[in-house]
Structure 1
Amino acid sequence: MSVNTSNAPPPPSIGFPATTTAVPTSPSSSGPVNAHDNTLVVIVAVAAVGALLGLFLLMACCRLRIASRVNVQDIDLDTAAAIAVVAPPPSIDCTSTDNTTTNSDVAMSPTTKSIDVALRRFHVAAHRIRNKKPVAQGTHCVVACATYDGTMDVALKTPLASRLKRADAASTMATFAQEILLCARLQHKYIVGFVGVLYRSPRDVTLVTEYMAQGNLASLLGCADSARFKWLSAKKAPVTKLAWAIGVVDALAYMHELGVTHRGLRAKNVLLTSAFGVKLGDMGLTRDTEVALSLTNTHSRTAGNIAPELLQQAATYSTAADMYAFGAFLCELDTCKPPFSSLESGRGGLDNTQIALLVGQGKMQPKFSYSCPDPILEIATRCMDFRPSERPSAIHVLQDLEHIRSAMT
Structure 2
Amino acid sequence: MATQAVGIACFFALTCVHAALSAPFLNDTLPGLEGNTSAQSELMVLAQIATSSPTSSSHSTHTTAIVITCAVGLSVVSAIIFFITQRKEKNPAVYSDDSYGELDWRDLPQMRLPVEKVRVSTRLASGSMGEVYLGVYEGHKVAVKKLLKTKRSASHVQRLIDEMSLLAMVRCPFVVQVVGVAWTEPQLLLGVVEYMDLGDLHAFLHATRPSTFPFMNKVHSALNVAYALAHIHSLDVIHRDLKASNVLLDSTYGTKLGDFGLGKDAHLEIVLSPGRGTYRWMAPEMLVSHAYDASVDVFSFGVILAELETHREPYSNVKNASKSKPVDDTAILGLVLHGHTHPKCSRHCPSWFSTLVNQCTVFQPSERPTAQAIVTLLKQRIQEGC
Q: What's the TM-score, normalizing by structure 1?
A: 0.65
Deviation string 1:167-192 (CA, Å, 9 cap, x unpaired) is xx111111111111111112111111
CA distance in 2, matches of 1:290, 1:348: 31
Offset at 1:309?
1.8
Offset at 1:225?
4.5
Name stretches of at least 5 consecutive residues in structure 2 with no aligned partner.
Answer: 1-84, 265-270
Match status 1:108 vs 2:101: yes
Offset at 1:348?
4.8
Q: Provide the residue aligned with 1:319 in structure 2.
A: 294
Q: Provide the residue aligned with 2:363 in structure 1.
A: 386
Deviation string 1:339-377 (CA, Å, 9 cap, x unpaired) is 113436976542211111111111111111111112212
Q: What's the TM-score, normalizing by structure 2?
A: 0.69
Q: Provide the residue aligned with 1:306 in structure 2.
A: 282
> Which residue of 144, 147, 150 corresponds with 1:162?
150
> Which residue of 317, 330, 344 corresponds with 1:353?
330
- The 1:142–1:131 alpha-carbon spacing in structure 2 relative to 1, beyond 3 Å, is closer
Match status 1:124 vs 2:113: yes
Q: Provide the residue aligned with 2:166 in structure 1.
A: 182
Q: Provide the residue aligned with 1:43 in structure 2.
A: none
Offset at 1:128?
2.3
Q: Provide the residue aligned with 2:303 in structure 1.
A: 328
CA distance in 1, matches of 2:240, 2:156: 18
- The 1:117–1:336 alpha-carbon spacing in structure 2 relative to 1, beyond 3 Å, is closer
CA contact (8 A) 1:344 1:351 kept: no
- The 1:261–1:344 alpha-carbon spacing in structure 2 relative to 1, beyond 3 Å, is farther
- The 1:220–1:103 alpha-carbon spacing in structure 2 relative to 1, beyond 3 Å, is same
Q: Provide the residue aligned with 1:364 in structure 2.
A: 341
Determine helix, strand or coil for the equivalent of 1:343. Answer: coil
CA distance in 1, matches of 2:250, 2:299: 25
Indicate the percent of aligned positions where both proteins have the same amino acid. Answer: 31
Determine helix, strand or coil for the equivalent of 1:133. Answer: strand
Match status 1:148 vs 2:137: yes
Farther off after superposition, 343-352 or 388-397: 343-352
CA contact (8 A) 1:155 1:209 kept: yes
Offset at 1:136?
3.0
Deviation string 1:185-220 (CA, Å, 9 cap, x unpaired) is 121111111100012232221000011111111112
Farther off after superposition, 256-265 or 371-380: 371-380
CA contact (8 A) 2:209 2:311 kept: no
Alignment of 1:74-85 (within 5 A): none
Farther off after superposition, 254-263 or 218-227: 218-227
Q: How many residues align?
A: 289
> Which residue of 397, 400, 409 corresponds with 2:374?
397
Determine helix, strand or coil for the equivalent of 1:153. Answer: strand
Name stretches of at least 5 consecutive residues in structure 1 with no aligned partner.
Answer: 1-96, 233-239, 295-301
CA contact (8 A) 1:186 1:255 kept: yes
- The 1:254–1:276 alpha-carbon spacing in structure 2 relative to 1, beyond 3 Å, is closer
Q: What amino acid sits opposite 1:274 in the alignment? A: S
Q: Provide the residue aligned with 1:135 in structure 2.
A: 124
- The 1:342–1:276 alpha-carbon spacing in structure 2 relative to 1, beyond 3 Å, is farther
CA distance in 2, matches of 1:146, 1:213: 12
Deviation string 1:37-74 (CA, Å, 9 cap, x unpaired) is xxxxxxxxxxxxxxxxxxxxxxxxxxxxxxxxxxxxxx
CA distance in 1, matches of 2:253, 2:211: 15
CA contact (8 A) 2:120 2:144 kept: no
CA contact (8 A) 1:382 1:391 kept: yes
CA distance in 2, matches of 1:316, 1:289: 8
- The 1:146–1:293 alpha-carbon spacing in structure 2 relative to 1, beyond 3 Å, is closer
CA contact (8 A) 2:342 2:358 kept: no
CA contact (8 A) 1:358 1:364 kept: yes
Farther off after superposition, 192-201 or 342-351: 342-351
Determine helix, strand or coil for the equivalent of 1:292. Answer: coil
CA RMSD of aligned residues (A): 2.5
CA contact (8 A) 1:311 1:357 kept: no
- The 1:231–1:204 alpha-carbon spacing in structure 2 relative to 1, beyond 3 Å, is same
Q: Provide the residue aligned with 2:208 in structure 1.
A: 224
Alignment of 1:46-85 (within 5 A): none
Offset at 1:163?
2.0
